[in-house]
Amino acid sequence: MKRITRRQFGKSMAAVAAAGYASSLFPHRAWAERTPLNLTFPEGFKWGCATAAYQIEGGAKADGRGPSLWDVFSHTPGKTHNGDTGDVADDSYHLYKTDVQLLKALGVQTYRFSISWSRVFPEGKGKLNQKGLDYYNNVVDELLANGITPYITLFHWDTPAGLRGGWQSRDTSKAFADYAAFMGKHLGDRVKHWMTTNEFVCFTDLGYKQGTFAPGLKLADGPVNQIRHHAILAHGLGVQALRANTPAGTQVGLAENATVWVPIMESDADIKAAQRATRLMNAPFLTALMEGKYIDEYLEHEGANAPKVEPGDMEAIASPLDFVGLNIYTPSYVRADDSPLGFVVEKMPTSYPHMASPWIQISPECIYWGVRNVCDLWSPKGIYITENGTSSDDVLESDGHVYDVDRVMYLRNHLANLHRASAEGYPVQGYFLWSLMDNFEWADGYSKRFGIHYVDFKTEKRTPKQSAYWYKDLIEHNTVV
């Protein structure tokens, strides 16, 4: 290889400078302050894994469980990859003790799982299914007996099909609050960490606007905004219900996939632009929760389609939280400009690299910016990464192992960047890896594997992948290596 001298290099850079950068597009910006790397997490940092009921439990009709909108949707031809359903999934309904042993072997301190609402209330409200409640009592007890702290998500998209109108109906928000109160009353003596809902956009927009998720509708903007409102109202009423029905000191939050805006340069101007984008682009959801209002830009943009808000709604929606949980997978890039918004969204080139799921565009720094933007804007008391992980084209080799090198690469780099957020003083309390094991990946069915344990869906055998060994090591040392 031909090497150039320093002098030649200096000359060619001078030539570039003379030719001129597009200075209005890329003005020179001062670098923000930096912190040196040290990849050990603070003592007491909590490492965990996450799952969700419909993705792992199976037992769809076992012991009196009622159908959810996802049962209906996945059984509708053409809605999921290969017509896959969550009927059996990982059969964790029967194998939960095995799964707790997987967690124990990893050495995690915490486990985030969700409750199937229609397993406890088959019609969403009214009649209780005692066997459904027994199941969750057993899961909680099994975790505690093995030294693992349960973190419960009350709602991870599996709306009871018995609730008429689903999220189009305001009654569903009220039914959710009653269900939250009930679960708090029955598990709150042992469960100290709760999340109301998971990812608003996935059960509102994707379900009722894009139609790619249950219930598969394609409604207009007005009804969709109302659905979004019912969703965040359910969260707010759920927080109030949990507070009223659990002991003092119980930690309440949610798990939200706020779009993560990464400043293209680490300059004050682009960092501001990322904050502005975060606030505006999450206006119907996290911004409303954090600010107790729909911001003017959102209301103006939606005009007559803006949601109808009843007295007391916004107070409930803004109920103080002990933590904000962020599900972080992928970035959007932004830079400052002179437009009224003050930012412009960067176009992604077709060459942008991605993981096995095309939507997971690789950006390890997005986990840092996800935390930082939310903290700089709203200063929540605490932050958890409630999900982070990736699909991979995993192969169970003839030697019995799964070499998911790309997943290890993805996790290692995200965690190095999460460490940066923690080292800079952002209040990151814990991390949940998505996911403990391969499972029903919604519309992608079983075609995408997100687990650190490989699941043979014929035999239900679980096998730790290379990433599981890697994660175990990381947890043991509390350090990214």
Alpha helix ranges (H) inside 50-91: 53-56, 69-74
3 state SS of 459: coil
**Rounded to the nearest whole angstrom, what is the least distance from the CB of residue 386 to ligand GBH in the complex?**
8
Between residues 73 and 434, which has the closer beta carbon with respect to ligand GBH?
434
Marked catalytic residue, from 142, 199, 256, 365: 199
Residue 59 corresponds to which tokens in the numbers above? 């037992």
| Number of other residues whose CB lies within 10 A of the CB of residue 127 | 11
Distance CA 155, CA 115 (A): 7
Between residues 314 and 415, which has the closer beta carbon with respect to ligand GBH?
415
The torsion angle over the Cα atoms of residues 135, 472, 328 and 439, rounded to 10 degrees, is -40
Between residues 229 and 448, which has the closer beta carbon with respect to ligand GBH?
448
3 state SS of 134: helix
Distance CA 437, CA 111 (A): 12
**Rounded to the nearest whole angstrom, what is the least distance from the CB of residue 199 to ligand GBH in the complex?**
5
Between residues 81 and 477, which has the closer beta carbon with respect to ligand GBH?
81
First to last CA, the chain: 33
Distance CA 95, CA 157 (A): 22
| 89, 54 contact by CB (below 8 A) | yes
Between residues 305 and 330, which has the closer beta carbon with respect to ligand GBH?
330
How many residues are given for the chain?
A: 481
The residue ranges that bind ligand GBH (CB under 6 A) are 52, 55, 198-199, 202, 206, 212, 257, 327, 359, 387, 434, 441, 450
Q: What residues are paired with 434 via a beta bridge?
A: 50
| 174, 236 contact by CB (below 8 A) | no
Between residues 149 and 257, which has the closer beta carbon with respect to ligand GBH?
257
Between residues 31 and 359, which has the closer beta carbon with respect to ligand GBH?
359
**Rounded to the nearest whole angstrom, what is the least distance from the CB of residue 181 to ligand GBH in the complex?**
24
**Rounded to the nearest whole angstrom, what is the least distance from the CB of residue 54 to ligand GBH in the complex?**
9
346 is catalytic: no
CB closest to ligand GBH, residue no: 359
387 is catalytic: yes
**Rounded to the nearest whole angstrom, what is the least distance from the CB of residue 120 to ligand GBH in the complex?**
20
Distance CA 156, CA 55 (A): 9
**Rounded to the nearest whole angstrom, what is the least distance from the CB of residue 201 to ligand GBH in the complex?**
8
Concatenated DSSP letters of 251-310: EEEEEE-PPPEEESS-BHHHHHHHHHHHHHHTTTTHHHHHHSS--HHHHHHHGGGSPP--
Q: Kind and range of the H or E element at 98?
A: helix 92-106
Distance CA 125, CA 277 (A): 39
**Rounded to the nearest whole angstrom, what is the least distance from the CB of residue 98 to ligand GBH in the complex?**
20
- As to burial, measured by CB atoms within 10 angstroms (0-12 exposed, 13-18 middle, 19+ buried), residue 77 is exposed
What separation in angstroms does the CA of 94 have from each of 88, 137, 354, 466?
A: 10, 14, 35, 26
**Rounded to the nearest whole angstrom, what is the least distance from the CB of residue 89 to ligand GBH in the complex?**
12
Marked catalytic residue, from 57, 142, 256, 387: 387
3 state SS of 30: coil
Distance CA 271, CA 262 (A): 8
**Rounded to the nearest whole angstrom, what is the least distance from the CB of residue 347 to ligand GBH in the complex?**
17
Between residues 271 and 371, which has the closer beta carbon with respect to ligand GBH?
371
Between residues 142 and 441, which has the closer beta carbon with respect to ligand GBH?
441
| 143, 150 contact by CB (below 8 A) | yes
Catalytic positions, written as ranges: 199, 387
